[in-house]
Structure 1
Amino acid sequence: MSTLRKLKAYIVGGVGADHGSELKAADVPVSDADCRGCANPCDEGHDEYPSRFDVDMETEMLGSMKPYATQVVISTGKSDWEREVTDASGTLAAYIDSARGEFKPPKDKGGKDANGKGGKDAAANGKGGKDAASNGAGGLPGVYKSTESSKVTILNGSHKTVCDDATRETVLVFPQYKVVTSVERSEEGAKKLLHSLKADARESDALKTYVLPYSSVIMLCSHKRRDNRCAIAAPKLEQTFTAALEHEGWEVHTQIEDPSLSGPPLEEFTGSDERLRAEVEKRLKDVAEQKRVLIIRNSHMGGHKFAGNVIINSPQGACVWYGRVTPHEVDAIVKETILGGKVLPPLLRGGLNLSRPGHASLHDW
């Protein structure tokens, strides 16, 4: 990248821009560490992207993801999918997309819903529309609370279903940090899943809901039919994250462990709603201490021009969206974000529940 382009990028908020002071003012735990710990050119043997891997280094990244209330990631066992996963007939993604209209906020006479969105809801893949939370915490784009939106976004994941019945999917749910099993691949199954996201877990007829049995879930966009750069980045990042986390003594999974091994589903809890919430919090705190991570590949989540795209989800409810990630930045992400609970401003596209007044880490409860 030429010196002139670097200067332009810095001025418009691209590469080199550091929003650390703004993030700190918004009570986001921030790391001042360098994103890249190796020399340039690399002297530590990190895998390189090919020369044709051309990423947008000029456009502002912070605020390039849209707010949402819930993100569902559906088991497919694949790492690439149809260009629009919700257009694939007979898939749970398509059924959820179709059924989602029944669970949207009512529109006012001006054709806008409770979040100020008009027209067709394209929340599934971050397309179109404007959410009332678009300015973020303290007016800072990209720093959102999950409670400020009603969007349910839909992604496919590389994890396989844990159900013996292959027609029933296993769905990861963020930032609630839950996994729902036995979701029938049908219109009725989609409606039950959406209902379970709105209601008390014990009202989820025929579904089984658990706290995800991992201290962190790393999502890597690998959607080749949307952008080949994502397909190139994901396997290299997965390998580098695996090595870095194992070096730190963490157990790394690329397929979800059957959550029933950790205990009964939340639907079987018989206490009051207050006791159920306390039980969920206890389970979340337990998994946060386990040093186990799940790494999955997922479908298009927007911003492929910023490949590699990474989302770090934590039991505390934070969802950190990073862009322009290469294997050279993985060590810093592991040490600063996954272990330390702090964001790296130069890589940040945005996220959910990152503002933590009075706390020094995203890992604080």
Structure 2
Amino acid sequence: MGLFDKLIRRTSQNHDEEVKSKGFEIADCSFDCESCDSKFPASLKFDDEADLWNSTKPYGLHFIVSTGKTDWAHDATGESNTLSHSVSKWAGNNAGNFVGLESSAIKTSVSSLSSDELLINDDYKQELVGDILVLPFFIWIKNIHLNQVDEFLSTFIPKLIEFRAQNLTSLNFDSFKQEFPTIKLEVDTFKSYVFLCSHKHRDKRCGITAPIMKKEIEIHLRDLQLYRDVGDNTPNGVKVAFINHIGGHKFSANVIIYLRNSGKNIWLARCRPNNVRPIIDQCILNDGKIWPDNVRLIQKFHHIEW
């Protein structure tokens, strides 16, 4: 497909009305920043022709299991007797069971996020006990053992959904302490999360592109005093982390953004280092302005006023 054909295809696919109906706005600046000199290696090849719009399915709940790693086995949640597998199995068994979620689907991912409370070098312990970030609720389930996953999530998730539906601002975490004394619940205070697929065992392109994107994002966030390093939990910052395979490696780099205050979720693809400043300025600082040609999915969740 030539350049002219690409232009005709993209011009004919006007998603403006759908963008507005989903509660988003079109970005008012270019997706490219000419001042950025960083580039991906020329040897990497990507699909720059296929339509990205709605190329991934919506979901109502996303579990992010902390591992402290940047790469994982080919099936990152498939190894039995691990926390991530227990969470993924629960998600698969309970998809469609909860009223009040925007979609019946439940997604499970592993990430480079790590816990200050675990022995980071103790791989065996981390496979059994760990932390789970629950999005779009921006709440942490900490120190949960894989044997507790079924009972705890089946108890906690319905109450969390009900809490949000009632527009409450304070969930009584003490009510869970008697039955699950080792588990700790915490509200996350970052304004946004940015996830980049770095799953090299699934596709080498992600293992190469994700670190380059992360470096560029963090440079810009530092300039804005929004960057949060490991162990820095200062509120209202932006946390950047690696994540396992999310689909569409041929569309690298995939960038997944969660905005806490508005409940918005943005999946971007075909992202390059020279797109980083516009992404931060438009998607994060301007509350979810997007470029339809680079969007795989946009969702607006009923957010919680923690």
TM-score, normalising length: structure 1:
0.69
User: Does 1:234 find its partner at 2:225?
Assistant: no
SS in 1 for 2:2: helix
Equivalent residue for 1:349, pick from 271, 284, 296? 296
Counterparts of 1:132-281 in structure 2 under 5 Å? 147-164=101-118, 166=125, 167-184=128-145, 186-200=146-160, 202=173, 204=176, 205-206=180-181, 207-253=183-229, 255=230, 257=232
Structure 1 gap segments, 5+ residues each: 39-43, 107-113, 116-145, 263-286, 357-361
CA distance in 1 between counterparts of 2:90 and 2:23 reads 37
Report how many aligned residue pairs link the two structures: 280
CA distance in 2 between counterparts of 1:221 and 1:178 reads 22
Counterparts of 1:294-313 in structure 2 under 5 Å? 294-313=239-258
SS in 2 for 1:245: helix
- What residue in structure 1 maps to residue 50 of structure 2? 59
- Alpha-carbon distance, 1:297 to partner: 0.2
Residue pair 2:58, 2:103 contacting (<8 A) in 1 also:
yes
User: Does 1:320 find its partner at 2:266?
Assistant: yes
CA distance in 2 between counterparts of 1:177 and 1:329 reads 26
Change (3 A) 1:154 1:25: closer
Residue pair 2:66, 2:112 contacting (<8 A) in 1 also:
yes
SS in 2 for 1:252: coil
Equivalent position amino acid for 2:81 in 1: G
Equivalent position amino acid for 2:108 in 1: I
CA distance in 2 between counterparts of 1:332 and 1:295 reads 16
Residue pair 2:257, 2:267 contacting (<8 A) in 1 also:
yes
SS in 1 for 2:101: helix
CA distance in 2 between counterparts of 1:22 and 1:98 reads 34
Structure 2 gap segments, 5+ residues each: 120-124, 161-170
SS in 1 for 2:274: helix
- What residue in structure 2 maps to residue 68 of structure 1? 59
Query: 1:288-324, CA deviations, whole angstroms, 9 ceiling, x for partnerless residues?
Result: xx3x111110001111111000111111311111001
Equivalent position amino acid for 1:19 in 2: H
- What residue in structure 2 maps to residue 34 of structure 1? 30
User: Does 1:8 find its partner at 2:5?
Assistant: yes
Residue pair 1:161, 1:168 contacting (<8 A) in 2 also:
no
CA distance in 1 between counterparts of 2:80 and 2:232 reads 28
**RMSD, matched Cα:** 2.9
CA distance in 2 between counterparts of 1:12 and 1:248 reads 37
Change (3 A) 1:148 1:214: closer
Change (3 A) 1:176 1:307: same
Change (3 A) 1:103 1:17: closer
Query: 1:103-141, CA deviations, whole angstroms, 9 ceiling, x for partnerless residues?
Result: 3447xxxxxxx99xxxxxxxxxxxxxxxxxxxxxxxxxx
Tell me the percent identity: 25
Equivalent position amino acid for 2:136 in 1: P
Equivalent position amino acid for 2:67 in 1: T
TM-score, normalising length: structure 2:
0.81
User: Does 1:332 find its partner at 2:293?
Assistant: no
